[in-house]
């Protein structure tokens, strides 16, 4: 698995030139080797962090986690439109302690808000992997469940849970902001009951998820794990 | 529009004209004439704006049609120039030096229809798709449903209903006398 990223023979699509390992001559004449996929990322696979404390302590942790949901402002498909009224006075999700953050490092909830094209899936995977554990994924709308109206599209995936662990789906095309608020409350219940173990599931079944991801993303030009 | 057609006819061999509206017409032209015609339209007839460049796949006739839609702003008129090409190994002359915007259209046509435009900047770069290995998806012999079923995992339980029958059943369960 380690060599796959740099081996052109294994993938049908050739690696872009700027991502290949090469020797670069600096302005001072000093030559150095650059391997863009290895130099800036960690290759360590994600580890499981199972609950280790007694139940009452874990319950307390889970309660705390459920009350601090920070959403990554990553919009795909039409569902991103539904999040605008949600974060503004009309529906005001902030009163439930739910807020949006601009970067994956500061967020723990990834909402896939509609269809995912293969091109966006690649970015969504990177965003998910860069988030800190414990992290949660919500799939919005029928597109993430079974493809929805894009069931015969050449470029959109049909099942989100093949590529990343999903804690909760919200059905609808598109679900209204009220449905999302209900979804947040349900997600809080799932977290409090200790069942939102998506990040651990991802670490445990890492090979399978990577296999599924690489099956559709043919120009895999990133490290296998890139936090 | 007929006036324009007659004026052009004096200089270029032209195919048939389809007048869609008073201010919109399509003219079929030869590939060899296209470049001279576009320059003539831009510099002499006042059609200075390339609205779009798109393709149609006439798979039954074995032809790909390119449409260059031009706009004359002063007279508020549009003219589409149609060029018919063979479907196999389609190559067309680039017009990015006449209208720089054509570069983007040509990149898209290269990816979606597999029409090559040698000399057009960045024409072989990815446009919307990444790592595409099948035949270009906008060609009509590309079966998008089969492709999707082969490549993307399917979830059971999906039902498809005929909307007319379904609503009839729902609204008039007893058949609607």
The helix (run of H) or strand (run of E) holding residue A216 is helix A206-216
Residue B91's φ and ψ, nearest 5 degrees, are -130, 140
Mean residue pLDDT of chain A comes to 87
- The distance of Cα B117 from the centroid of its chain, to the nearest Å, equals 15
Tens digit of each residue's pLDDT (9 = 90 or more) over B77-110: 999 999 999 988 889 999 999 999 999 999 999 9
Q: Is residue B173 part of a domain?
A: no
> pLDDT for B107-161, tens place per residue?
999 999 999 999 999 998 888 888 888 899 999 999 999 999 898 988 888 888 8
Contacts of A153 in chain B (CB under 8 A): 144, 148
Q: Which of A118, A151, A212 sits opposite B130 (nearest CB)?
A: A118
Reported as a single tens digit per residue, the pLDDT across B1-30 is 889 999 999 999 999 999 999 999 999 999
Q: Does residue B168 lie in a domain region?
A: no
Report the CATH number at residue B77. 3.30.460.80
Which residues 103-142 of chain B have a CB within 8 Å of chain A?
A: 128-134, 137, 142
Asked whether the predicted pLDDT for residue A1 surpasses 90, the reply is no
Predicted TM-score (pTM) of this structure: 0.84
Backbone φ and ψ for A146, nearest 5 degrees, come out as -140, 20
Q: Calculate the average pLDDT of chain B.
A: 91
The answer as to CATH 1.10.4080.10 being correct for domain A55-215 is no
Torsions phi, psi of A95, nearest 5?
Answer: -70, -15
Closest approach of B7 to chain A, Cα-based (Å): 45
> d(Cα B111, Cα B122) in Å, to the nearest integer?
12
Asked if residue B170 belongs to a domain, the reply is: no
Chain B residues whose CB is inside 8 A of the A154 CB are 134, 137, 142, 144, 147-148
pLDDT band at A9 (very low <50, low <70, confident <90, very high): very low
Rounded CA gap, A125 and A212, in Å?
A: 12
Task: Tell me the Cα Rg of chain A.
Answer: 19
In a domain, residue B28? The reply is yes
* Nearest of A167, A97, A100 to residue A137 by alpha carbon: A167
CB-based contact B131 A218, cutoff 8 Å: yes
- The 8-class DSSP code of residue A177 comes to H
**ipTM surpassing 0.90, yes or no?**
no
Nearest 10 degrees: Cα torsion A71, A76, A82, A86: 10
Predicted confidence at residue A6, as pLDDT, reads: 43
Q: Classify the phi-psi angles of A77: left when phi > 0, otherwise alpha if psi is within -120 to 50, otherwise beta.
A: left
Residue B153's closest CA among A83, A129, A213?
Answer: A213
Helix or strand holding residue A34 (H, E): strand A31-34
Across the interface, do A216 and B152 touch by the CB < 8 Å criterion? yes
**What is the number of structural domains in chain B?**
1
B57 forms bridges with which residues in the sheet? B64
Instruction: Write out the residue range of the structural domain in which residue B133 sits.
Output: 2-154
DSSP alpha helix (H) spans, B114-157: 144-151
Tens of pLDDT, residue by residue over A87-144, are 899 999 999 989 999 999 999 999 999 899 999 999 999 999 999 889 999 999 999 9
Closest to B25 in 3D by CA, of B35, B11, B34, B15: B15
């Amino acid at each position: 698995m380690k060599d796959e990223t740099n081996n052109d023979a294994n993938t049908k699509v050739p690696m872009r030139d700027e991502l290949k390992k090469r020797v670069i001559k600096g302005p001072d004449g000093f030559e150095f080797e650059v391997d863009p996929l290895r130099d800036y990322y960690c290759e360590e696979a994600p580890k499981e962090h199972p609950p280790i404390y007694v139940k009452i302590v874990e319950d307390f942790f889970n309660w705390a986690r459920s009350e601090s949901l920070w959403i990554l402002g990553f919009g795909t498909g039409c569902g991103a439109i539904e999040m605008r009224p949600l974060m503004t006075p009309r529906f005001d999700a902030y009163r439930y302690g739910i807020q949006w953050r601009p970067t994956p490092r500061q967020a723990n909830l990834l909402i896939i808000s509609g269809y995912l094209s293969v091109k966006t899936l690649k970015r969504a995977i990177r965003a998910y992997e860069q988030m800190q554990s414990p992290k949660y994924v919500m799939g919005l709308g029928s597109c993430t469940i079974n493809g929805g109206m894009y069931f015969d599209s050449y470029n959109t995936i049909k099942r989100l849970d093949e590529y990343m662990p999903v804690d909760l789906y919200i059905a609808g095309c598109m679900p209204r902001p009220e449905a999302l608020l209900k979804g947040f409350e349900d997600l809080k219940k799932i977290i409090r009951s200790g069942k939102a173990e998506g990040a651990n599931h991802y670490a445990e079944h890492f090979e399978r998820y990577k296999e599924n991801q690489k099956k559709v993303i043919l120009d895999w030009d990133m490290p296998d794990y890139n936090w | 529009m007929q006036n324009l057609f007659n004026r052009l006819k004096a200089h270029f061999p032209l195919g048939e004209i389809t007048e869609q509206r008073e201010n919109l017409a399509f003219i079929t032209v030869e590939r060899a004439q296209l470049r001279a015609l576009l320059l003539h339209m831009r510099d002499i007839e006042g059609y200075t704006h390339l609205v779009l460049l798109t393709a149609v796949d006439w798979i039954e006739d074995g032809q790909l049609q390119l449409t260059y839609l031009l706009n004359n702003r002063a007279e508020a008129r549009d003219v589409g120039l149609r060029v018919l090409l063979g479907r196999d190994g389609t190559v067309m002359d680039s017009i990015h030096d006449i209208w720089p915007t054509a570069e983007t259209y040509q990149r898209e046509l290269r990816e979606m229809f597999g029409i090559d435009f040698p000399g057009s900047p960045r024409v072989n770069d990815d446009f919307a798709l990444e790592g595409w290995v099948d035949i270009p998806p906008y060609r009509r012999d590309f079966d998008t449903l089969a492709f999707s079923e082969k490549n993307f995992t399917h979830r059971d339980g999906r039902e498809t209903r005929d909307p007319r029958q379904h609503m009839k059943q729902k609204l008039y369960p007893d058949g609607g006398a």
